[in-house]
Structure formats: C-alpha cells, structure tokens
C-alpha cells in the first residue's frame, strides 16, 4: 500500500534590531518587540542575564526593573532577573539548563510569554535551548552583548549546549522571536573578546562578499583600535550576510550536508576542545580560517596574493593564525589530541559525507568532500612558521 505523504511548511519571521542602551527607559525597541504580538497584555517576561555582563554593568538589573516599571502597560517581569555564568561554563554543565527550566516553570511562563537573554553567544545558546524545549518553545528574545554574538550567532536559528566533550552536541533549530544587538555593551568587552568577535566578520566576507573584505582591510587599524562607528557598520554588514544566507540557502535547518557559514569551523570546534576553551570561539575561528585558507592555497585552489591578504588581515585585526595545539600529535590522526580528528567530528555533527568549505578567491567559496592529510599537515607547518616569524609579507613561493 502506498504511504500517505505528509508535507508541512512552517514560516518563521523575526526582526533584528541594532540599538544602544536597550534598557534605557526612552528606548522603545523592547517595548515594540513585545507590542507587535497579539495576545494578552501586559506580556510576561523572564530576563536571564550573563554574569559577565552584570560584572561590567552592575546597574543592568535595576535598569531592567525600571524599564519594566516604565513600560508596565505592555511588559510584566515574571520573576526576578536570573543570572547565569557566562562563556562556555553555562554550556558545559547540563545543570544550568535544568535550572532554567525550573525558573521558567516556577514563573508560570506560557508559550506566549517571553524569555529575554542578555549576554554573549554562549548564554544565548544555553538559554535558547532551555526556552525552546520548555512547553515546546517559549518566545525567545536574544539581547546580544558581544561583538561575536552580534555579528554571527545571535542572528541565526540555532541553540545548544555541549555534551560528551563535544561542542553543541545537544540543541535545536529554533528561530528567535526577536534579536536585539545592543552596541552599548561593546565598550566593556575585553580586547581578546573584541578581536575574537571580528573573526566571524572576516569569515562572512571571505565566503560571500569581496567588497566587505576590502572594507575590513581598509579599516583594520580602526577596528583593532576599537573604533565604534566602524565596528557598528561591520557588525551590521556581517549580520546581514548571515541573515541573507540563512533565508536564501533553501536549507535553514541544515537537513543536507553543507554548512556554508561554517568556513574554518571544523578546526575551530576541535581547537576549543583541545585548548579546554583557553581559546574562545572567535579566536579559534580565526585560527580555523587561517588553516583552511592556507590549505586552499597549498592545494592550489587559492592564489598566493589572496592567501597573503587574508593572513595579513587576520594579523592586523590582532587575531592569532596559529595555536600550538594544531601541531600536537599531528602525525597520528587517530589520536583524539590530533586536530585532524576534528574533521571526522565535524562530519558526524553535520551528518552524511564530509563537506568542508574552501576558497578559490576572496568572496568565492566552494565545497570539497575530501581533505588531503599531507597538505593539511603542511598547512599547519606553514602557519607555525608564519606565527613564529610573522612572514606573510615575504614570499612563500617555495611552499607551492
């Protein structure tokens, strides 16, 4: 007997705002986000705050409380602001998601209530996972406070936590209800977090937009010096590229094998694990970009001049292009300490056959399904020399 063939289409829409000082009483963004939904008013909302944000912005809890008082006609704080650890800590221990579920339950949130998470990408990921699974999905508002979240992960449709030593092993695809990128939190970022945040913008430029790469090159010194006007433009452009890709790829929930937004990420995920998160995600992505760019060059897909420009830009932005863990046990690709094991872990995470994105030019990416081990080892060795001697400005012709 022929089966019944079920076909379902689900449409998701969400706005991405760029603003400054979202919890200033005069800032209407959050008010507008909640008001545009039909339903009971005032809407009940639970705020979850990244401990790192609180440390640098000690008034944020009173700001939130005051915002809710000023806008009490549309917003009702459902519980005291709940604080969670920032960075990978919140993703590494499943207890935090269990705590979030309990807080959401005790606040009696319904599926038309809101969870607003304020923090970096890791906190948005963990809170997003908890919100997506309570009542099968409570409306999630992401208030992104780091450069890395604003130009990349916060505008996407994923959430997740780490498990079994693997990055994002548990999670769901769940578009947010709204994204609010608040530039007001950026000045208190550490220099490391600032620089790390730029790597995803470089990635977006490399795979999608040569003109954006030119801009990053021209403004590299200003970006490294934390020029806010330039940074805001860069964040918006990077977010736009990510949003456009997700909307037009035809596979926003990644049911196929390709993941074009993950250029450089197989090594980055593995390096985060190998360094026990000494490298932040953005820093690891910087190294991963350098590695796959160098592989593209040594495998003769990418010209030397473009390779040189890319490595030079990463360095000009203050991003490392090498980490010692790249060289550990490099000849022993069955060893869990070998970065090359990251290729298989990446394949397993995506599913299906290995698919790695490479470059044949700046703004011109393509997929391969095989990686030559010897060429990848030579890529690591070349980056090590670049790192030790800072030689990209010199000729590397002998390595071709």
Chain residues that interact with its own copies, rule: CB under 8 A: 1, 3-19, 39-40, 101-102, 105, 108-113, 132-138, 155, 157-158, 160, 163-164, 166, 168-175, 239-240, 243, 246-247, 252-255, 257, 347-353
- The sign of the dihedral angle between the CA atoms of 136, 140, 144, 149 is positive
Burial zone of 93 (CB within 10 Å; 0-12 exposed, 13-18 middle, 19+ buried): middle
Residues 6+ apart with CB under 8 A from 250: none
Min dist. Cβ of residue 332 to its own copies (A): 19
The SS3 of residue 359 is strand
Q: How far is the CB of 289 from its own copies (least distance, A)?
A: 23
* Closer residue to its own copies in complex, CB, 157/222: 157
Give the nearer residue to its own copies in terms of CB position, either 130 or 317. 130
| Non-local CB neighbours of 383 within 8 Å, separated by 6+ positions | 287, 290, 291, 294, 321, 322, 326
Of 339, 294, 320, 330, the residue nearest 387 (C-alpha): 320
Q: How far is the CB of 3 from its own copies (least distance, A)?
A: 4
Determine contact, residues 314/322, Cβ cutoff 8 Å. no
- Decide whether 270 or 387 has the Cβ nearer to its own copies: 270
Shortest reach from residue 35's CB to its own copies, in Å: 14
Nearer to its own copies (CB atom), residue 168 or residue 312: 168
DSSP output for 300-352: TSS-HHHHHHHHHHHHHTT--S--GGGGTTTT-TTSTTSTTHHHHHHHHHH-S
- Confirm if 123 and 150 have CB atoms less than 8 A apart: no
How far apart are CB 311 and its own copies at their closest, in Å? Answer: 31
Instruction: State the nearest-atom distance from the C-beta of 78 to its own copies, in Å.
Output: 12
Of the candidates 91, 164, 199, which has an alpha carbon nearest to the alpha carbon of residue 348? 164
Residue 71: which residues within 8 A CB-CB, separation 6 or more? 25, 30, 31
User: In whole angstroms, how close is the CB of 349 to its own copies at the nearest point?
Assistant: 6
Q: How far is the CB of 28 from its own copies (least distance, A)?
A: 12
Report how far apart, in Å, the C-alpha atoms of 301 and of each of 118, 198, 213, 288 are.
42, 25, 19, 17
Nearer to its own copies, 173 or 301 (CB): 173
List of residues 6+ apart from 92 with CB closer than 8 A = 161, 162
Rank residues 11 and 397 by Cβ distance to its own copies and give the closer one. Answer: 11
Distance CA 58, CA 63 (A): 9
Nearer to its own copies, 40 or 393 (CB): 40
Instruction: Indicate the residue among 14 and 301 with the shorter CB distance to its own copies.
Output: 14
Q: Are 68 and 80 in contact (CB under 8 A)?
A: no
């Amino acid at each position: 007997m022929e089966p019944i063939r079920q076909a379902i289409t689900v449409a998701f829409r969400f706005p991405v705002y760029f603003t400054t000082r979202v919890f200033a009483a005069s800032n209407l963004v959050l008010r507008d986000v909640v008001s545009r939904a039909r339903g009971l008013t005032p809407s009940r909302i639970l705020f979850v705050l990244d401990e790192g944000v609180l440390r640098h912005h000690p008034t944020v809890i009173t700001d939130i409380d005051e915002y809710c008082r000023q806008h009490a006609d549309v917003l009702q704080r459902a519980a005291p602001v709940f604080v969670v650890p920032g960075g990978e800590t919140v993703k590494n221990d499943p207890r935090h998601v269990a705590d979030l579920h309990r807080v959401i339950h005790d606040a009696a949130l319904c599926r038309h209530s809101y969870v607003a998470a304020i923090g970096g990408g890791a906190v948005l990921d963990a809170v997003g996972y908890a919100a997506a699974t309570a009542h099968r999905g409570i409306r999630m508002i992401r208030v992104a406070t780091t450069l890395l979240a604003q130009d990349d992960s916060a505008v996407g449709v994923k959430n997740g936590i780490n498990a079994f030593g693997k990055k994002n092993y548990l999670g769901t695809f769940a578009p947010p209800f709204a994204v609010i990128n608040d530039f007001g939190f950026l000045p208190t970022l550490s220099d490391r977090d600032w620089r790390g945040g730029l790597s995803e913008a470089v990635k977006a430029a490399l795979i999608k937009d040569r003109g954006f790469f030119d801009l990053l090159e021209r403004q590299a010194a200003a970006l490294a010096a934390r020029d806010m006007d330039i940074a805001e433009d860069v964040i918006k452009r990077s977010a736009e590229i990510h949003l456009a890709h997700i909307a037009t790829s035809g596979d926003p929930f990644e049911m196929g094998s390709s993941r074009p937004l993950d250029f450089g990420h197989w090594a980055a995920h593995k390096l985060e694990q190998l360094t026990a998160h000494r490298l932040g995600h953005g820093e690891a992505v910087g190294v991963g970009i350098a590695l796959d760019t160098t592989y593209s060059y040594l495998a003769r897909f990418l010209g030397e001049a473009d390779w040189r420009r890319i490595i030079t830009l990463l360095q000009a932005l203050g991003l490392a292009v090498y980490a010692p863990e790249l060289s550990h046990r490099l000849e022993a690709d069955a060893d869990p300490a070998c970065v090359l094991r990251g290729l298989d872990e990446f394949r397993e995470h995506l599913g299906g056959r290995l698919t790695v994105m490479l470059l044949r030019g700046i703004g011109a990416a393509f997929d391969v399904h095989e990686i030559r081990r010897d060429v990848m080892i030579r890529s690591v060795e070349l980056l090590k020399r670049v790192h030790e001697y800072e030689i990209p400005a010199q000729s590397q012709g002998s390595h071709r």
